[in-house]
Amino acid sequence: MSISPNPPPPSDRSYYAAVNPAPPPRPALDGAQRADVAIVGAGLTGLSAALRLAEQGVSVRVLEQARVGWGASGRNGGQVHTGQRRDQDELERTVGKADARKLWDMAEDAKALLRSLMQSHQIDCAYEPGLIHADHKQSFVEENRAYAEKLARDYDYGLVAPLDRDELRALVKTDQYFGGTIDRGAGHLDPLALTYGLARAAEAAGAVIHEGARVRRLRHGARPVLETDGGALSADTVLICTDGLLEGVEPTVERHVMPIANHIATTAPLGDRLQEVLTSRAAVSDSRFVVYYFRPTPDGRLLFGGGETYSTKLPRDVSPLVRRHLANVFPQFADIPFEHAWGGILGVTQTRQPFVRAVRPNVLTAAGYSGQGVLLAPMFGTILAEAVKGRLDRFDLLAKLPVPAFPGGTWLRKPILVAAMSYFALRDRL
* pLDDT above 80 for 420: no
Q: Distance between CA atoms of 152 and 355, rounded to whole angstroms?
A: 29
Q: Residue 316: what pLDDT? A: 82
pLDDT in tens, 339-375: 999 998 899 999 999 999 999 999 999 999 999 999 9
Q: Distance between CA atoms of 67 and 365, rounded to whole angstroms?
A: 20
* pLDDT above 60 for 71: yes
Candidates 372, 284, 303, 403; CA nearest to 106 is 372
* pLDDT above 80 for 215: yes
Q: Distance between CA atoms of 139 and 146, rounded to whole angstroms?
A: 12
pLDDT band, residue 131 (cuts 50/70/90): very high
Contact 29, 86 (CB under 8 A): no
The full DSSP string for 245-287 is ---SS-HHHHHH-EEEEEEEEEES--GGGGGGTBSSS-EEEES
pLDDT band, residue 416 (cuts 50/70/90): low
The full DSSP string for 80-99 is E-SS-SS-HHHHHHHH-HHH
* pLDDT above 80 for 1: no
Which value, in Å, is the radius of gyration of the alpha carbons in the chain?
A: 21
pLDDT band, residue 311 (cuts 50/70/90): low
Least confident range of 5-19, 303-317, 410-424: 410-424
Distances 135 to 169, 204, 292 between C-alpha atoms, Å = 11, 44, 11
Q: Residue 419: what pLDDT? A: 54
Q: Residue 410: what pLDDT? A: 58
Mean per-residue pLDDT, 223-231: 97
pLDDT in tens, 321-334: 999 999 999 999 99
Please give the share of the chain, as a percent, with pLDDT higher than 70.
Answer: 91
Domains present along the chain, CATH in parentheses: 15-75+192-258+351-421 (3.50.50.60), 129-187+260-346 (3.30.9.10)
* pLDDT above 80 for 400: yes
Q: Distance between CA atoms of 63 and 379, rounded to whole angstroms?
A: 20
Q: Residue 10: what pLDDT? A: 39
pLDDT band, residue 308 (cuts 50/70/90): confident
Mean per-residue pLDDT, 199-213: 98
Q: Residue 8: what pLDDT? A: 37
Taking the model in full, what pTM does it have?
Answer: 0.93
Question: For residues 278 and 10, which has the higher predicted lDDT (pLDDT)?
Answer: 278
Mean pLDDT of the chain: 92
Q: Residue 413: what pLDDT? A: 52
* pLDDT above 90 for 418: no
pLDDT in tens, 145-169: 999 999 999 999 999 999 999 999 9
Task: Determine whether 222 is exposed, middle or buried from the number of CB atoms within 10 Å of its CB (0-12, 13-18, 19+).
Answer: exposed
pLDDT band, residue 94 (cuts 50/70/90): very high
pLDDT band, residue 290 (cuts 50/70/90): confident
* pLDDT above 80 for 417: no
Please give the share of the chain, as a percent, with pLDDT higher than 90.
Answer: 84
Q: Residue 429: what pLDDT? A: 53
pLDDT band, residue 412 (cuts 50/70/90): low
pLDDT band, residue 221 (cuts 50/70/90): very high
Mean per-residue pLDDT, 29-41: 98
